[in-house]
Amino acid sequence: MKKIVVAIDGHSSCGKSTMAKALARTVGYIYVDTGAMYRVVTLYALRNHLIENGKIYDFALQQHIECCRVKVSFQLDPETNLPLACLNGEVVEDEIRGMEVSNNVSPIAALPFVRKFLVAQQQAMGKEKGIVMDGRDIGTVVFPDAELKVFITASAEIRAQRRYDELVAKGEKDVDYDEILKNVIERDQIDSTREVSPLRQAEDAVVLDNSNCTREEQNAWLLEKFNAVVNA
Protein backbone atom coordinates (compact mmCIF):
# COMPACT_ATOMS: atom_id res chain seq x y z
CA MET A 1 0.00 0.00 0.00
CA LYS A 2 1.39 3.45 -0.85
CA LYS A 3 2.60 5.61 2.03
CA ILE A 4 1.29 9.13 2.30
CA VAL A 5 1.64 12.29 4.40
CA VAL A 6 -1.43 13.24 6.41
CA ALA A 7 -1.48 16.95 7.33
CA ILE A 8 -3.97 17.93 10.04
CA ASP A 9 -4.45 21.62 10.80
CA GLY A 10 -6.97 23.58 12.79
CA HIS A 11 -7.70 25.72 15.82
CA SER A 12 -6.23 25.02 19.24
CA SER A 13 -7.89 22.40 21.47
CA CYS A 14 -10.21 21.04 18.81
CA GLY A 15 -9.06 17.47 19.20
CA LYS A 16 -6.60 17.40 16.29
CA SER A 17 -4.01 15.44 18.20
CA THR A 18 -6.53 12.89 19.51
CA MET A 19 -7.66 12.18 15.96
CA ALA A 20 -4.16 12.24 14.54
CA LYS A 21 -2.86 9.81 17.19
CA ALA A 22 -5.78 7.43 16.65
CA LEU A 23 -5.23 7.40 12.88
CA ALA A 24 -1.47 6.89 13.23
CA ARG A 25 -2.05 3.95 15.61
CA THR A 26 -4.65 2.34 13.34
CA VAL A 27 -2.63 2.59 10.15
CA GLY A 28 0.86 2.15 11.68
CA TYR A 29 2.14 5.65 10.84
CA ILE A 30 4.44 7.92 12.86
CA TYR A 31 2.60 10.68 14.71
CA VAL A 32 4.12 14.15 15.15
CA ASP A 33 2.54 16.86 17.29
CA THR A 34 4.14 20.07 16.00
CA GLY A 35 2.39 22.20 18.65
CA ALA A 36 4.47 20.27 21.20
CA MET A 37 7.62 21.43 19.40
CA TYR A 38 6.60 25.12 19.74
CA ARG A 39 5.75 24.43 23.37
CA VAL A 40 9.21 22.92 24.00
CA VAL A 41 10.91 26.06 22.63
CA THR A 42 8.61 28.16 24.85
CA LEU A 43 9.58 26.10 27.89
CA TYR A 44 13.25 26.62 27.06
CA ALA A 45 12.68 30.38 26.82
CA LEU A 46 10.82 30.44 30.15
CA ARG A 47 13.43 28.37 31.96
CA ASN A 48 16.22 30.57 30.64
CA HIS A 49 14.48 33.87 31.42
CA LEU A 50 14.20 34.72 27.74
CA ILE A 51 10.53 35.55 28.34
CA GLU A 52 9.68 37.62 31.37
CA ASN A 53 6.23 39.04 32.07
CA GLY A 54 5.29 38.47 28.44
CA LYS A 55 8.37 40.22 27.06
CA ILE A 56 10.41 38.00 24.72
CA TYR A 57 14.16 38.53 24.41
CA ASP A 58 14.01 37.35 20.82
CA PHE A 59 17.54 38.25 19.81
CA ALA A 60 18.94 36.17 22.67
CA LEU A 61 16.55 33.30 21.92
CA GLN A 62 17.65 33.32 18.29
CA GLN A 63 21.29 33.09 19.38
CA HIS A 64 20.53 30.17 21.70
CA ILE A 65 18.82 28.38 18.78
CA GLU A 66 21.62 29.15 16.34
CA CYS A 67 24.21 27.93 18.84
CA CYS A 68 22.31 24.60 19.01
CA ARG A 69 21.44 25.02 22.68
CA VAL A 70 17.78 24.13 22.08
CA LYS A 71 17.25 20.52 21.01
CA VAL A 72 13.67 19.49 20.36
CA SER A 73 13.05 15.78 19.93
CA PHE A 74 10.60 12.98 20.69
CA GLN A 75 11.09 9.73 22.60
CA LEU A 76 8.67 6.85 22.24
CA ASP A 77 6.81 6.00 25.44
CA PRO A 78 7.54 2.28 25.86
CA GLU A 79 4.07 1.64 27.31
CA THR A 80 1.84 3.58 24.92
CA ASN A 81 4.25 3.74 21.97
CA LEU A 82 3.33 7.42 21.64
CA PRO A 83 5.96 10.14 21.21
CA LEU A 84 6.91 12.19 24.27
CA ALA A 85 8.29 15.69 23.68
CA CYS A 86 11.82 16.31 24.93
CA LEU A 87 13.91 19.40 25.57
CA ASN A 88 17.62 18.67 25.33
CA GLY A 89 16.89 15.00 25.93
CA GLU A 90 14.65 15.52 28.98
CA VAL A 91 11.01 14.41 28.69
CA VAL A 92 8.94 17.56 29.32
CA GLU A 93 5.54 16.31 28.18
CA ASP A 94 3.68 17.38 31.36
CA GLU A 95 5.38 20.74 31.76
CA ILE A 96 4.65 21.87 28.20
CA ARG A 97 0.90 21.31 28.69
CA GLY A 98 0.60 23.59 31.76
CA MET A 99 -0.87 27.09 31.75
CA GLU A 100 2.47 28.91 31.90
CA VAL A 101 3.61 27.45 28.59
CA SER A 102 0.10 27.75 27.09
CA ASN A 103 -0.04 31.44 27.96
CA ASN A 104 3.31 32.18 26.29
CA VAL A 105 3.47 29.84 23.30
CA SER A 106 1.61 31.87 20.63
CA PRO A 107 4.04 34.81 20.51
CA ILE A 108 6.95 32.35 20.43
CA ALA A 109 5.30 30.48 17.53
CA ALA A 110 4.96 33.79 15.68
CA LEU A 111 8.76 34.35 15.57
CA PRO A 112 10.07 33.65 12.04
CA PHE A 113 13.39 32.15 13.22
CA VAL A 114 11.56 29.73 15.56
CA ARG A 115 9.31 28.61 12.70
CA LYS A 116 12.24 28.18 10.32
CA PHE A 117 14.07 26.05 12.91
CA LEU A 118 11.09 23.78 13.60
CA VAL A 119 9.68 23.56 10.04
CA ALA A 120 13.04 22.22 8.80
CA GLN A 121 12.90 19.44 11.42
CA GLN A 122 9.28 18.66 10.57
CA GLN A 123 10.04 18.37 6.85
CA ALA A 124 12.95 16.03 7.60
CA MET A 125 10.64 13.83 9.74
CA GLY A 126 8.17 13.48 6.85
CA LYS A 127 10.69 12.73 4.12
CA GLU A 128 9.92 9.01 4.10
CA LYS A 129 6.15 9.64 4.33
CA GLY A 130 4.06 7.30 6.50
CA ILE A 131 3.45 10.19 8.87
CA VAL A 132 0.50 11.96 10.47
CA MET A 133 1.44 15.49 11.51
CA ASP A 134 -0.78 18.00 13.22
CA GLY A 135 -0.39 21.74 13.66
CA ARG A 136 -1.44 25.01 12.06
CA ASP A 137 0.61 25.24 8.86
CA ILE A 138 1.21 21.61 7.95
CA GLY A 139 -0.95 21.57 4.81
CA THR A 140 0.00 25.11 3.78
CA VAL A 141 3.73 25.42 4.56
CA VAL A 142 5.35 22.25 5.93
CA PHE A 143 3.84 19.79 3.42
CA PRO A 144 2.00 21.75 0.73
CA ASP A 145 2.02 18.55 -1.36
CA ALA A 146 0.57 16.28 1.36
CA GLU A 147 -1.71 13.65 -0.15
CA LEU A 148 -4.36 14.18 2.56
CA LYS A 149 -4.99 17.57 4.16
CA VAL A 150 -7.56 17.95 6.90
CA PHE A 151 -8.76 21.14 8.61
CA ILE A 152 -10.53 20.72 11.96
CA THR A 153 -12.51 23.29 13.87
CA ALA A 154 -15.03 23.55 16.75
CA SER A 155 -16.59 26.42 18.72
CA ALA A 156 -14.30 28.30 21.18
CA GLU A 157 -16.56 27.35 24.14
CA ILE A 158 -16.43 23.65 23.36
CA ARG A 159 -12.67 23.79 22.89
CA ALA A 160 -12.22 25.60 26.23
CA GLN A 161 -14.38 23.00 27.98
CA ARG A 162 -12.30 20.17 26.49
CA ARG A 163 -9.04 21.78 27.65
CA TYR A 164 -10.56 22.42 31.11
CA ASP A 165 -11.57 18.75 31.43
CA GLU A 166 -8.11 17.64 30.27
CA LEU A 167 -6.30 19.80 32.87
CA VAL A 168 -8.64 18.74 35.69
CA ALA A 169 -8.16 15.08 34.74
CA LYS A 170 -4.39 15.62 34.96
CA GLY A 171 -4.80 16.94 38.50
CA GLU A 172 -3.83 20.53 37.69
CA LYS A 173 -5.05 22.86 40.45
CA ASP A 174 -6.70 26.30 40.17
CA VAL A 175 -8.11 25.62 36.74
CA ASP A 176 -10.46 28.39 35.70
CA TYR A 177 -12.80 27.88 32.71
CA ASP A 178 -13.08 31.61 31.93
CA GLU A 179 -9.30 32.00 31.89
CA ILE A 180 -9.01 29.02 29.53
CA LEU A 181 -11.71 30.41 27.21
CA LYS A 182 -9.88 33.75 27.14
CA ASN A 183 -6.63 31.92 26.32
CA VAL A 184 -8.30 29.92 23.50
CA ILE A 185 -9.76 33.09 21.93
CA GLU A 186 -6.50 34.99 22.28
CA ARG A 187 -4.52 32.15 20.72
CA ASP A 188 -6.95 31.92 17.79
CA GLN A 189 -6.46 35.63 17.24
CA ILE A 190 -2.63 35.49 17.37
CA ASP A 191 -2.40 32.26 15.34
CA SER A 192 -4.69 33.53 12.56
CA THR A 193 -3.34 37.06 12.24
CA ARG A 194 0.42 36.59 12.63
CA GLU A 195 2.55 37.54 9.65
CA VAL A 196 4.44 34.28 9.28
CA SER A 197 2.44 31.16 8.36
CA PRO A 198 -0.89 32.21 9.86
CA LEU A 199 -3.43 29.50 10.61
CA ARG A 200 -5.54 29.11 7.50
CA GLN A 201 -7.27 26.33 5.71
CA ALA A 202 -5.42 24.94 2.67
CA GLU A 203 -7.60 25.24 -0.43
CA ASP A 204 -7.49 21.51 -0.99
CA ALA A 205 -8.17 20.51 2.65
CA VAL A 206 -11.22 18.53 3.71
CA VAL A 207 -12.96 20.28 6.62
CA LEU A 208 -14.53 18.88 9.78
CA ASP A 209 -16.37 20.93 12.44
CA ASN A 210 -16.30 18.44 15.30
CA SER A 211 -18.28 20.52 17.84
CA ASN A 212 -20.93 17.81 17.97
CA CYS A 213 -18.88 14.74 17.10
CA THR A 214 -17.92 11.91 19.42
CA ARG A 215 -14.33 10.68 19.31
CA GLU A 216 -15.47 7.52 17.55
CA GLU A 217 -17.30 9.52 14.89
CA GLN A 218 -14.35 11.78 14.16
CA ASN A 219 -11.90 8.87 14.07
CA ALA A 220 -14.13 6.98 11.65
CA TRP A 221 -14.48 10.10 9.48
CA LEU A 222 -10.69 10.51 9.27
CA LEU A 223 -10.03 6.83 8.58
CA GLU A 224 -12.53 6.93 5.74
CA LYS A 225 -10.75 9.94 4.20
CA PHE A 226 -7.39 8.19 4.62
CA ASN A 227 -8.61 4.96 2.99
CA ALA A 228 -10.11 6.88 0.08
CA VAL A 229 -6.69 8.44 -0.66
CA VAL A 230 -4.49 5.36 -0.22
CA ASN A 231 -6.86 3.15 -2.21
CA ALA A 232 -7.38 5.63 -5.02
Q: Contact residues for ligand DC (CB under 6 A)? A: 12, 34-35, 38-39, 105-106, 109, 135-137, 187, 191
Write down the least CB distance from residue 149 to ligand DC, Å.
Answer: 13
How far, in Å, CA of 48 to CA of 122, rounded? 24
Write down the least CB distance from residue 1 to ligand DC, Å.
Answer: 27
Between 172 and 230, whose beta carbon lies closer to ligand DC?
172
Between 4 and 152, whose beta carbon lies closer to ligand DC?
152
Give SS3 for 154. Answer: coil
Between 189 and 227, whose beta carbon lies closer to ligand DC?
189
Between 143 and 226, whose beta carbon lies closer to ligand DC?
143
Write down the least CB distance from residue 141 to ligand DC, Å.
Answer: 8
Give SS3 for 153. Answer: strand
Sign, CA dihedral 177-18-72-9, equals negative
How many other C-beta atoms lie within 10 A of the C-beta of residue 210?
21
Q: Which of 20-49 are b and which e, b meaning 16 or more Cβ less than 10 Å from the residue's Cβ? A: bbbbbeebebbbbbbbbbbbbbbbbbbeee
Write down the least CB distance from residue 198 to ligand DC, Å.
Answer: 9
